[in-house]
Amino acid sequence: MTNEQMGKWQTLFHPSDPCPRFPDPYLEFRMTHTDPLVTVEHLQKYYPVNQGLFAQTRHYIHAVDDLSFQIGRGESLGLVGESGCGKTTTGKLLVKLIDPTKGHIYLGSNGSQTDIAPLKGAAVKQFRRRVQMIFQDPYESMNPRLTIYDTVAEPLVVQGIGTVIEREERVAEMLALVGLTPPASFLFRFPHELSGGQRQRVAIARALVVQPKFVVADEPTSMLDVSIRTGVMHLMSNLARRLDVTYLYITHDLAVARYMCHRIAVMYLGKMVELAETEELLQHPQHPYTKALLASVPVPDPSIKRQAAEIKGGIPTPINPPAYCRFYERCLIATARCRDDAHPPLADKGNGHSVACYAV
């Protein structure tokens, strides 16, 4: 796929378009065919809202509220949703950068699952070899005083993997893998001497250098120029296949999720409202919020009439949200039950499609 083709596709995405991806065995993935690598159960993260030095905390930001899902081995799960809905928080919880308020995260298949919460000391280091993260901002996620070599070799050094010569070789291999060739010409440059796209490739190399099985990618392309975005996405899905990596791919761009992910989970104010295989979700969205998200994807062809947004009101705050459906205030199809009952659970509607809504 040339850059022009991909660039064109980038701006021309619409749910009614055929899938932009080339026929590819990687995409024939079915969650049901594999065992889970990551299992999340009732995951919660509340942040206290401070109200002065001596006031007792009574208000909490419900950044992530009762998430349960699984990610299959080799799968790439997309996490989409508007700003502030808790995507990054979920990602950080999964890589143990922050600890959950409640809930469990398990790594591994059914028979031999490890709960990551109680891991300490050496076990955390071991865990860091299996789970890595790629950050959003390629300009801030690298220490400006370290060379590319030191940045990529850091996980190897802190984990005590290999000798100096072995590390050097591994780093060079990784740089070649992410398309920074010849590696020797990049090893001893500083981050500021690289372009945004090259830096993000370095960040990918750093995450993959310990050969992790699971990688959380937090909007890895959102800060990049559109013209180089597709190249980085292409690289990431290629590497996932070659190195057998499972992704949680966080993005707010449905077009990106469509290219990168086997399944897409839609989040709204800390809750997961819909989860389905990519094309299924895009062609047959069921939750009113997902429908609104899809309707908001810009259509470059002016002759196509744009659907009216099926949503009202603005984004409510995640501070002490109501017990009933989080989406109630903005929903056009809400019934009395939506107001009276608790937030709807994610219910399977068949075809691997789960929706959290009483009205559909």
Partner 1 sequence: MTDSISTTQSLSRESGVELDLLAREERITPVPLWRVRVKLWWRSARQNAAIFADNKIGLLGLAIILLFGVMALAHPILMATVWDARTYDPITGYSFDELRQPAPPSARHLLGTDPLGRDVLSQLMYSTRNEFILGLLAALITVTIATTIGATTAYFGGVYDMIFMRVADLIIMTPAISLLIVMCALFNPDLPQLAVVIGILSGFGGTTIIIKSQALSIRVKPFIEAAKVAGGGHRHIIMTHILPNLLPFSFLYMMFGVTAAIFSEATLSFFGLLNVRMSWGIMIFTAQAAGYLLSGVEYWWLLIPAGASITLLCSAFYLVGRALDEVVNPRLRKR
Ligand X SMILES: Nc1ncnc2c1ncn2[C@@H]1O[C@H](COP(=O)(O)OP(=O)(O)OP(=O)(O)O)[C@@H](O)[C@H]1O
Q: Which residues bind ligand X (CB under 6 A)?
A: 47, 61, 63, 81, 83-89, 252, 318
Residue 209 vs 269, nearer CB to Mg ion: 269
Query: CB of 85: closest distance to ligand X in angstroms?
Result: 4
120: helix, coil or strand? coil
Residue 157 vs 226, nearer CB to partner 1: 157
Window 133 to 152, contacts with partner 1 (CB under 8 A): 133, 135-137, 140-147
Question: 89 is in the binding site of which of ligand X, partner 1, Mg ion, none (Cβ under 5 to 8 A by kind)?
Answer: ligand X
Question: 1 is in the binding site of which of ligand X, partner 1, Mg ion, none (Cβ under 5 to 8 A by kind)?
Answer: none
- Range list of β-strands (E), the chain: 36-48, 60-72, 76-80, 102-107, 114-115, 131-134, 214-218, 246-250, 263-268, 271-277, 347-348, 354-355
The Cα–Cα gap between 175 and 189 comes to 13
Residue 83 vs 110, nearer CB to ligand X: 83
Q: Select from 20-28, 201-209, 219-227, 351-359 the region that touches partner 1 (CB under 8 A).
A: 201-209
Q: What is the DSSP letter of 58?
A: -
Question: 47 is in the binding site of which of partner 1, ligand X, Mg ion, none (Cβ under 5 to 8 A by kind)?
Answer: ligand X
How many Cα atoms occupy the beta-carbon half-sphere of 70 within 13 Å? 16
Q: Residues 55, 165, 323, 336: which binds partner 1 (CB under 8 A)? A: 165
Q: Residues 88, 221, 278, 290: which binds Mg ion (CB under 5 A)? A: 88
Query: CB of 239: closest distance to ligand X in angstroms?
Result: 23
Given its phi and psi angles, is residue 224 left (phi above 0), alpha (psi -120 to 50 degrees) or beta? Answer: beta
Are the C-beta atoms of residues 122 and 48 closer than 8 Å to each other? no
Q: Is 251 in the site for Mg ion (CB under 5 A)?
A: no
Pairing of strands 114-115, 214-218: unpaired
Helices 196-208/148-159 angle, 10° precision: 20
Query: CB of 143: closest distance to ligand X in angstroms?
Result: 21
Question: 125 is in the binding site of which of ligand X, Mg ion, partner 1, none (Cβ under 5 to 8 A by kind)?
Answer: partner 1
Place of tokens 């937090």: 218
Are the C-beta atoms of residues 161 and 196 closer than 8 Å to each other? no
The Cα–Cα gap between 179 and 202 comes to 9
Q: Which residues bind Mg ion (CB under 5 A)?
A: 88
Q: Which residues bind partner 1 (CB under 8 A)?
A: 92, 95, 97, 107-109, 112, 114, 123-130, 132-133, 135-137, 140-147, 154-155, 158-159, 161-162, 164-166, 168-170, 172-174, 176-177, 181-184, 187-188, 203, 206-207, 210-211, 213, 242-244
